[in-house]
Amino acid sequence: MAKSNKAKARQPANRLWGGRFKTGPAEAMERINASIGFDQRLWRQDITASRAHCRMLISRKIIPARDGKAILKGLDAVWKEIESGRFHFRTALEDIHMNVEDRLTTLIGDAGGRLHTARSRNDQVATDFRLWVRDAVDGIEARLADLQAALIGRAREHAATIMPGFTHLQTAQPVTFGHHLLAYVEMFGRDRGRMRDARARMNECPLGAAALAGTSFPIDRKMTAKELGFDRPMANSLDAVSDRDFALEFLAAAAIASGHLSRLAEEMVVFSSERFRFLRLSDAFSTGSSIMPQKRNPDGAELVRAKTGRVMGALTALSVVMKGLPLAYSKDMQEDKEPVFEGADTLALTLEVMTGMVADMTVNAEAMRAAADGAFSTATDLADWLVREAGLTFRQAHHVSGRIVRLAEEKNLRLDQVSLADMRSVEPRITKDVFGVLGVERSAASRVSEGGTSPARVRKAIAAAEKRYLGGRRKKAL
């Protein structure tokens, strides 16, 4: 193997950078060094940034206008070749930048070699990658908004649908299903905020930092930054080529969003089970069993839950790559793109699947209400009544309510089925008025505090969520 690699190393040196070298890299080195297998996804961003750079070079008279026009025309031709699938990506040219430049030079001749004036692959890739991540952020935020719209649409349908609220996955108090769904609307709203925050911080332009120290050519970095939609050039050339905070921050926001998706997916798995029967996922997002004909498996939800690991893993992978790198650029940073690509692709797919599941799931309101009616879910309402009407301290009321729950459990009754006489045997100050707070509908309706679960509050929260997250436009479930 060593002999084979040595023989391979006698190939000609790379003509775009090989002046310093007598021969090219070993075959194994070529394979580990090349990134074209994955970074070809940056082709749109690479050509867009090159156009901006070329126009700046023309404007500053750094290259002849004639050559600049030829470069721009050649870049248009390369764009069309890649877009149509006719472009041949070559591993020997390592990456998208050199593939584009090589093809450009083939098309227009030596003038193509002027494009790289006053820039390096270091600032070139940093710019391209920021542009790609910025586009990814915009796409993810739009998908998050679609999911919020679907959740809000279903919440409107079920603003008064009673279900048990859970802590520790044990029945706690009655809530409405609309209120439950709106909790996820808030989670995904924060995810959108994190995406916007990440976008604002990444929206600075590295182009013009060159390899690490800037350039001696009289470039106009503000011009290229503006043309590419950045707010400003990055302030420090060393930071510009070595920073990958923007990618880490995107993956961190993506990991948190994926965690929220996983929580919702877990509830779909649980709530669609035979033991709950709260939900039924449509055929479009369910699968069957190869051996058990009766099975309906919530595989869409399970895969959303599982793929969270990919996004969280991508964040970990890139964090490890970056943790010990000195300034400025190191080849380690070539490993930044695959985790980001995978994280973005995975999150986009799971958002699409979750939006579909939310939009067309069937809600079993009867099963939800029956579950809320059991497990003594109105015990807190009993305790609150004892505080308000009987004058007990809350700790006293908590103790009394617990004793009545135990009595109901022993007699296999719901709380509202325990006789007044039995309740008064525990606490003589209880009157028949207590039964007015023991129904699940009244319990939910009584939670009128801001952010509470009463149907009236939920309807107000829906209107507020539409205004905050959907621009005030009412959207139906997708």
Active site residues: 168, 289
Both tokens of residue 253? 């926001």
Q: How far is Cα 253 from Cα 247, in angstroms, rounded to an integer?
A: 10
- Furthest-apart CA atoms within the chain: distance in Å: 100
Question: Which candidate, 125, 107, 93, 136, places its Cα nearest to that of 311?
Answer: 136
Find tokens 């190939």 and name the residue.
11
Q: How far is Cα 113 from Cα 98, in angstroms, rounded to an integer?
A: 11
